[in-house]
Amino acid sequence: MKYSEPAPAKLNLALHVRGKLPDGRHSLETIFAFCIDGDRLEAEKADELNLSISGPFAEGLSTTDNLVLDAAKALKQAAGVDAGASLYLTKKLPVASGIGGGSADAAAALRLLTGLWGIDPRHAVDVAPAIGSDVPACLLSLSAKGTEAGDKLELVQDPSISGTPALLVNPLVPLSTGAVFAAWDGIDRGPLGDWRRGRNDLEAAALTLAPDIGHVLDWLGTQPGAGFIRMSGSGATCFALFDSEAERDAAAATCPSNWWHLATFLR
């Protein structure tokens, strides 16, 4: 019997970089939102842990050095489980694209294996931060404010988020999160208030490494009904929130063919 779990795409509606934490990580204030679409992970019982990957963005991904397996091993050790699993990842989201693909996949593994192995969900919560700063938010997969390194979470009760039509666009330029943070100018531009009046402090750094991001943002800005436009995470994926599904779909239909896009809704 196979268990199945979605790994929803993550968006940063705002991302303020406030400096450095004592442990050397960057201090962040961000609003996470999640889409109804993303990757998908399946699992079935097995003697050992193993991973196979298929889908449009499977090429080049390791089946032995992967956050999905890191999550599975961490959960297995924390819960004292003497079991394995065969894991099957369908990779639909671009790699290194600022929408939490790897973190979402790891979080899906934690949720999936908690059920498959019949263990206390608190183990998943405990191990998530060590796998990656976005993994706790992806484990929750609900709108939330993230502080510290983005891994201290507070639910956001904003009815304007859920159900909003969204268009994600990526120029198919992979970006290293570490490289983008290294290019950040180090200026604290102030705290995060309302996400609609916020910003993404990594956008300027990402643009220096991938100028095509500017073309995506400019194109989104010309689309009727696109009321909110921003780069997500460290890029290169950008997104627009639309006033209506029809306007979103009209924009998606005209998206340049050499870019990846996803027409979806926020959860």
Which residues does the annotation mark as catalytic? 10, 134
Sign of CA dihedral 166, 128, 198, 233: negative
Nearest Cα residue to 262 out of 32, 34, 37: 37
CA angle 231, 234, 236 (to 5 degrees): 60
Residues 6+ apart with CB under 8 A from 34: 8, 9, 10, 11, 138, 141, 142, 143, 266, 267
Q: What is the DSSP letter of 197?
A: G
Give the strand pairing for 49-54 and 144-147. Answer: unpaired
Query: Which residues on neighbouring strands pair with residue 191, listed in sequence order?
Result: none
Kind and range of the H or E run holding 4: strand 3-20
**Full DSSP string of 46-111:** ESSEEEEEESTT-TT--SSS-HHHHHHHHHHHHHT---EEEEEEE--SPSSSSS-HHHHHHHHHHH
Instruction: Check if the beta carbon of residue 107 is closer than 8 Å to that of residue 143.
Output: no
